[in-house]
Amino acid sequence: MAITKIPAAGFTGNNFRNIIINGDMSIAQRGTSLSGETSGGYYTTDRFRYSKNGTAPTLTHSQSTDVPTGQGFFYSRKLEVTTVYAFGSADRAYIEQKFEGQNLQYLKKGTSSAESLTASFWVKASVTGTYIAYIIDSDNTRQIAKSYTINSANTWEKKTITFEGDTTGTLDNDNNISLSLHFGLYAGSDYTSGTLATSWESTTNANTLVGQVDAFATVNNTWQITGVQLEANTTASDFEFLPYDVNLQRCLRYYQVIADNDVVAGTAIANATSYSSAVAYGVLFYRTTMRAEPSADQSSVSNGFSFVHNGGSDALTTFTVEKVTLHNIRLKNTQTITITQGDAGWYQTSTGGYFALDAEL
**Pairing assessment for the beta strands 268-274 and 344-349 based on DSSP bridges:** antiparallel
- For the chain, the straight-line distance linking the first and the last C-alpha, in angstroms and rounded, comes to 48
Q: Give the Cβ contact number of residue 357 at 10 Å.
A: 23
Distance between CA atoms of residues 219 and 271, nearest Å = 48
CA-wise closest residue to 132 among 86, 84, 197, 193: 197
List 123's β-bridge partners, or say none: 157, 225
The pLDDT score that the predictor gives to residue 15 is 86
**CB within 8 A of 234, min separation 6: which ones?**
116, 118, 162
Question: With b meaning 16 or more CB within 10 Å and e meaning fewer, what string describes 295-316?
Answer: ebbbbebeebbbbbbeeebbeb
Is residue 292 within 8 A of residue 281, CB to CB? The reply is: no
Distance between CA atoms of residues 343 and 178, nearest Å = 47
CA-wise closest residue to 272 among 319, 313, 308: 308
Amino acid at 80: E
- DSSP 8-state code for residue 103: G
pTM metric for this prediction: 0.94
Q: What class does CATH assign to 33-252?
A: mainly beta
List 129's β-bridge partners, or say none: 150
Distance between CA atoms of residues 55 and 61, nearest Å = 17
List 98's β-bridge partners, or say none: 180
Return the C-alpha torsion angle 181, 184, 187, 189, nearest 10.
Answer: 60
**CB within 8 A of 31, min separation 6: which ones?**
43, 44
The pLDDT score that the predictor gives to residue 8 is 38
Distance between CA atoms of residues 32 and 188, nearest Å = 30
The pLDDT score that the predictor gives to residue 7 is 39
Domain extents for the chain? 33-252, 255-358
- From first to last of its 361 residues, the chain has per-residue pLDDT tens of 343 333 333 334 468 999 999 999 999 999 999 999 999 999 999 999 999 998 889 999 999 999 999 999 999 999 999 999 888 999 999 999 999 999 999 999 999 999 999 999 999 999 999 999 999 999 999 999 999 999 999 999 999 999 999 999 999 999 999 999 999 999 999 999 999 999 999 999 999 999 999 999 999 999 999 999 999 999 999 999 999 999 999 999 999 999 999 999 999 999 999 999 999 999 999 999 999 999 999 999 999 999 999 999 999 999 999 999 999 999 999 999 999 999 999 999 999 999 999 999 9
Distance between CA atoms of residues 63 and 61, nearest Å = 7
Distance between CA atoms of residues 157 and 121, nearest Å = 8
SS3 265: coil
Distance between CA atoms of residues 343 and 314, nearest Å = 12
